[in-house]
């Protein structure tokens, strides 16, 4: 499954990685050597099969080399979400118990004792190269933390076999080849940044260009740079809107691109067609940490126009079905829960075996919890997402996690948090509460949650109500809350 080593032997002088942050570049042969050095360095520190290696750093090529070195050793690479609070980061480190942690200045800011990742290549050069190490494909090599519906984080473990499937699935859907160049700007603690923006390029012998942040004007300069020759770029719909609003937006500068790929949040049809009117394919898709790339739209602009709002089709390498509450297949056009089966599905949750078993049906299908429809042509559309979860600026937010912190806040008798539409972030959290006395100030809620939650999880709106809407068994009706906010 080591495609960097494969391409190092096949065409070693081909450009593999260009790090815009540090202005470093590696051919496939050079990057293979980089990985081998890091492998040797980790092995000398005692890292072996099943051990965890954590990282708290903004995007850089060193993260990719560190991950692939872990894969060669059979170890688990754990990139941590640096947008989380210090307390949340500490909880993840306690959970995964890493043998070693690497990081940049963010680690120090978040109170984490970490080895300087910028020194990784130099340390690898001094170590005995682990060139002969080849981890088994069924061993997990990557663990991505995602919030659970209870608010507790889950470590999604992905094997090299799982990751290769995502590379194959996206390469088929996204028309990836040896001339493809991916601008990797999504954070590498996400599956899009760590996997989908990297593995397809390595599978096909293309190039990965690493950037550490999204600034619309600068991102457009990178996408249109004739030397970088970017062909594939991932972003959430809100980022796509920001690109169009930038002063230097000019669709003629983007003709070198095969497409801009979006996901992670609903994408309004009107926004999709704005890109099409500029003759640029804007390609929606569907995926998740547990399954990687699942569906994707074709790159055909006419078909995108006809199916605007859809997330596309799957490849023959995975199975998908939509079922009702009783587990029966639904008819075309009817909504049902998406269930998946295939070699792309996660090999489990870290130390959460019961939780993983609960996601599987008796006949072995993975329950996504997402509600989709499929039209007569086989194209899928997402109609609802995981129970209560909402997506703010591309980040998953689970209300239970926020509610648990606010439940004892002074002046609140009852409360619930739900996602509501927002022009800038797609959705934001709205705190619905029954006051004990007078209304509360949003600024006080923000101050109370500061340092306890990542900023994107903190409610941006609040609404005082007389009582929470509930059903016959006392369950809070989140859809009614969202209707109240809309009214």
150 pLDDT above the threshold of 90:
no
Per the structure, the count of domains in the chain is 2
pLDDT tier at 391, thresholds 50, 70, 90: confident
Residues 299 and 399 in one domain: no
Average pLDDT over residues 152-156: 87
- Please report, for the domain that includes residue 102, its CATH number: 3.40.50.12780
Based on the fold, state whether residues 375 and 435 are members of the same structural domain: no
Average pLDDT value for residue range 329-356:
95
Does residue 280 have a pLDDT over 90? yes
The DSSP annotation for 72-134 comes to HHTPEEEE--TTS-HHHHHHHHHHH--SEEEE-HHHHHTT---EEGGGHHHHHHHSPP-TT--
> Considering the entire predicted model, what is its pTM?
0.86
Residue 6 confidence (pLDDT) above 70: yes
pLDDT of 189-214, one tens digit each?
999 999 999 999 999 999 999 999 99
Which pLDDT value is given to residue 147? 63
Same domain, 112 and 45: yes
Task: Quote the pLDDT of residue 399.
Answer: 84
For residues 231, 236, 240, 241, the Cα torsion angle rounded to the nearest 10 degrees is 180
Round the average pLDDT of the chain to a whole number and report it. Answer: 92
| One domain, residues 300 and 335 | yes
Q: What is the DSSP letter of 455?
A: G
Calculate the alpha carbon distances from 450 to 151, 176, 487 in Å: 17, 42, 29
Among 109-123, 388-402, 421-435, the least confident range: 388-402
Residue that terminates a domain, selected from 381, 407, 434: 381
Minimum mean pLDDT range among 110-114, 120-124, 289-293, 334-338: 334-338
Same domain membership, residue 328 and residue 462: no
Q: Quick one: 368 and 408 in the same domain?
A: no
Of residues 475 and 366, the one with the higher pLDDT is 366
Give residue 388's pLDDT.
Answer: 78
Picking from 381, 406, 422, the residue at the C-terminal end of a domain is 381
Question: Among 237-246, 263-272, 435-444, 464-473, which stretch is predicted with the lowest mean pLDDT?
Answer: 464-473
| Boundary residue ending a domain (353, 381, 409) | 381
Q: Are residues 260 and 327 in the same domain?
A: yes
pLDDT at residue 55, rounded to an integer: 98
Q: What is the CATH number of the domain that holds 437?
A: 3.30.300.30
Asked if 199 and 237 sit in the same domain, the reply is: yes
Contact 182, 232 (CB under 8 A): yes
Distance separating alpha carbons of residues 394 and 336, to the nearest angstrom: 24
Q: What are the CA-CA distances from residue 69 to residues 103, 201, 403 (Å)?
A: 16, 18, 40
* 251 and 108 share one domain: yes
Reference 175, options 231, 98, 227, 249; nearest CA is 231
pLDDT band at 59 (very low <50, low <70, confident <90, very high): very high
Q: Give the other-Cβ count within 10 Å of 264's Cβ.
A: 25
Q: How does pLDDT run across 75-90, given as a tens digit for each residue?
A: 999 999 998 889 989 9
Domain housing 145: 3-381
The model's pLDDT over 353-380, given as tens digits with 9 standing for 90+, comes to 999 999 999 999 999 988 899 999 999 9
Q: Are residues 66 and 190 in the same domain?
A: yes
Residue 255 has pLDDT above 80, yes or no: yes
Is 396 found in the same domain as 289? no
Q: 289 with 357, same domain?
A: yes
Predicted pLDDT of residue 227: 96
- Comparing 155-169, 292-306, 359-373, 394-408, the range with the smallest average pLDDT is 394-408
Q: Tally the residues of the chain.
A: 487
Report pLDDT for 473: 47
């Amino acid at each position: 499954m080591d495609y960097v080593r494969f391409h190092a032997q096949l065409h070693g002088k081909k450009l593999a990685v260009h790090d815009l942050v540090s202005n470093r570049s590696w051919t496939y042969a050079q990057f293979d050597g980089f990985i081998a050095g890091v492998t040797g360095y980790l092995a000398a520190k005692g890292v072996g099969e099943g051990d965890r290696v954590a990282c708290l750093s903004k995007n850089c090529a060193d993260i990719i080399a560190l991950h692939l070195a872990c894969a060669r050793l059979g170890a688990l690479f754990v990139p941590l979400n640096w947008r989380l609070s210090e307390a949340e980061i500490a909880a993840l480190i306690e959970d995964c118990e890493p043998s070693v942690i690497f990081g940049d200045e963010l680690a120090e800011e978040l109170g984490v004792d970490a080895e300087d990742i910028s020194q990784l290549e130099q340390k690898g050069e001094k170590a005995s190269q682990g060139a002969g190490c080849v981890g088994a494909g069924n061993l997990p090599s990557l663990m991505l933390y995602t919030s659970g519906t209870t608010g507790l984080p889950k470590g999604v473990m992905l094997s090299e076999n799982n990751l290769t499937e995502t590379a194959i699935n996206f390469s088929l859907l996204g028309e990836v080849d040896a001339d493809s160049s991916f601008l990797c700007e999504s954070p590498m603690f996400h599956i899009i940044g760590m996997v989908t923006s990297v593995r397809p390029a390595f599978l096909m012998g293309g190039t990965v260009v690493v950037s550490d942040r999204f600034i619309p004007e600068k991102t457009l300069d990178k996408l249109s740079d004739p030397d970088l020759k970017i062909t594939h770029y991932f972003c959430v719909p809100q980022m796509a809107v920001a690109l169009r609003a930038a002063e230097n937006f000019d669709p003629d500068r983007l003709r070198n691109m095969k497409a801009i790929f979006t996901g992670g949040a609903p994408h309004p049809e009107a926004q999709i067609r704005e890109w099409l009117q500029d003759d640029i394919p804007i390609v929606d898709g569907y995926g998740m940490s547990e399954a990687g790339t699942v569906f994707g739209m074709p790159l055909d602009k006419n078909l995108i126009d006809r199916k605007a709002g859809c997330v596309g089709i799957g490849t023959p390498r995975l199975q998908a079905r939509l079922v009702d509450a009783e587990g029966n297949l639904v008819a075309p056009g009817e909504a049902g829960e998406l269930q998946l089966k295939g070699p792309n599905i996660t090999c489990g949750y870290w130390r959460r075996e019961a939780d993983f078993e609960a996601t599987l049906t008796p006949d072995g299908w993975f329950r996504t919890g997402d509600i989709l429809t499929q039209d007569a042509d086989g194209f899928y559309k997402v109609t609802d997402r995981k129970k209560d979860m909402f997506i703010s600026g591309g980040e998953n937010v689970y209300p239970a996690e926020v509610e648990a912190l606010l439940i004892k806040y002074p002046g609140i008798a009852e409360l619930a948090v739900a996602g509501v539409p927002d022009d800038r972030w797609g959705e934001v959290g709205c705190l619905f509460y029954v006051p004990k006395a007078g209304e509360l100030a949003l600024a006080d809620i923000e101050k109370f949650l500061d340092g306890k939650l990542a900023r994107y999880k903190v409610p941006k709106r609040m609404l005082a109500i007389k009582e929470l809407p509930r059903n016959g068994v006392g369950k809070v009706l989140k859809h009614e809350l969202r209707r109240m906010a809309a009214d």
